[in-house]
A = this chain, B = another copy of it.
Amino acid sequence: MPAPRRVGLWLVGAFGGVGSTTALGLAALAKGLTEPVGMVTALPRFGAVDFDAPPAFVVGGHDIRQTSFSRSAAELMARSNVFSESLLQACAPQLEIWSANVRPGVVYRPSSVIAALADRPDVRRAETPRQAIAAIEQDLKFFAAEHRLDQVAVINASSTEPLFELGGAHKTLNALNTALDRHEPVLPTSGLYAYAAINAGFAYVNLTPSLGATLPALEELSVARKVPHAGQDAKTGETLLKSVLAPMFAKRNLKVLSWVGHNILGNRDGLVLNDPQNKASKVSSKNALLGELLGYKPQSHVSIEYIESLDDWKVAWDHIHFEGFLNTKMTLQFTWQGCDSILAAPLVIDLARLILLAQRRGESGSVSALASFFKSPLGVKEHDLATQFAMLEAYLQR
């Protein structure tokens, strides 16, 4: 009888709200203390797919902050009124074990916002991008070896970076490799982690709007290393709604005149997004899909504001002004009140299971069948949730 599979979930930004909730959730699922509500891979229709079960997972990660899964989850509970104290206590021992797997982050010329958050004294500052990549790879390989893991999924769950402009050095792997040895920020931090994961042979998923593996050179690397990857920017709230509501207007030939979305949130993610440069990359990711879904670009406006009292809760108010027959203007408004970490964490587990499956299937490069999870899916321009989901169903029925 073969030993049961053991797989790793490596979280970049491990102790953030999403990372901590993911770890807590995996621990709770493994102990049978909670149901997999919010997990797409737990839907009955996917019951026959060979996904890794929660007990198979070992959690590790990188973080620049000095804390632990338990402390971070307890903080989230206190601030945002989620979880229960008893669940936290039941999972605390497992979380302590996993916290020991979290290594100090590696940074190369971090932004000031990130530098301000980094309170872990052993954060490592690299001299060149290449040096940073090497250090990250070493951590990943050590994790896999130490726990004798069959596979590892590396998931970027860290804060959003500023928009990063691509140039010649990102077009081919050769060009990128040359640039990595220079004392220049040729990749943002998320790109360094993506490179390291893929180069070391580990499947990679980018939950954030940061660059990650979204450049031709890394697509080339992932094909060369036979590593699948996916992204970008998990679709958890306002954009999820857009991806079903915009198709509804399109299918009824109702003309959207303007679509205004205001988002307020109070967690660390919100704080980072309050920096105009970081916000730009998020807003761009949230805004792009309307044109694709409608076939024309109505006036649109997306704002994201940091409102401290909301903690991990995100409230989105959208005002959709549309025209019907005989020039009549009508309105749809919605208010979404969701808890960001709670919405994202089950998708992290989903994506880990899915990208590990893709690797076992021998896939490489970006996996477009996972489009339904992302605001800016790689490798495909489809934004309609229904169509994206049909793609996922077809993929999993293969």
A interface residue numbers (CB < 8 A to B): 21, 24-25, 28, 34, 36-40, 42-44, 78, 81-85, 87, 240-241, 244-245, 247-248, 251-255, 257-258, 260, 262, 264, 295, 299, 301, 303, 305, 307-310, 315, 317, 319, 321, 323-339, 342-343, 345-346, 372, 384-387, 389
Contacts and interface: CB of A to CB of B under 8 A. Distances in A.
List the 3 shortest-distance A-B pairs measured between CB atoms, nearest first: A386-B386, A257-B309, A334-B334
Contact of A389 (B25, B251, B299): B251
Contact of A324 (B43, B254, B260, B343): B343
A88 B240 CA distance: 38
A11 to B, nearest CB: 16
A385 B252 CA distance: 10
Contacts of A346: 253, 324-325
- Most B CB within 10 A of own CB, among A28, A325, A328: A325
B342 A324 contact: yes
30 contacts: A24-B326, A25-B326, A34-B327, A38-B252, A38-B325, A39-B325, A40-B252, A42-B253, A81-B329, A241-B245, A244-B248, A251-B385, A251-B389, A257-B309, A258-B309, A258-B310, A260-B262, A260-B305, A299-B309, A301-B305, A303-B305, A309-B329, A317-B319, A317-B333, A325-B346, A326-B342, A326-B345, A328-B339, A332-B336, A335-B335
A278 to B, nearest CB: 18
A329 B339 CA distance: 9
Contacts of A247: 244, 386
Nearest to A349: B325
- Most B CB within 10 A of own CB, among A85, A328, A386: A328
Contacts of A332: 241, 334-337
Contacts of A334: 332-335
A141 B71 CA distance: 51
A255 B39 CA distance: 11
A86 B224 CA distance: 55
A84 B86 CA distance: 12
A333 to B, nearest CB: 5
B326 A253 contact: no
A34 B336 CA distance: 31
A326 B34 contact: yes
A137 to B, nearest CB: 31
A352 B87 CA distance: 39
Contact of A342 (B81, B83, B330): B330
A43 to B, nearest CB: 5
Given A244-B247, A325-B345, A326-B345, 17 more contacts: A37-B324, A37-B327, A40-B252, A43-B251, A43-B253, A82-B328, A240-B248, A244-B244, A258-B309, A315-B319, A324-B339, A324-B342, A331-B336, A333-B335, A334-B335, A335-B335, A385-B386
B342 A337 contact: no
A190 to B, nearest CB: 24
Contact of A303 (B303, B326, B328): B303
Nearest to A312: B328
A78 B241 CA distance: 30
Contacts of A299: 307-309
- Most B CB within 10 A of own CB, among A37, A255, A331: A37
Contacts of A40: 251-253
A334 B238 CA distance: 12
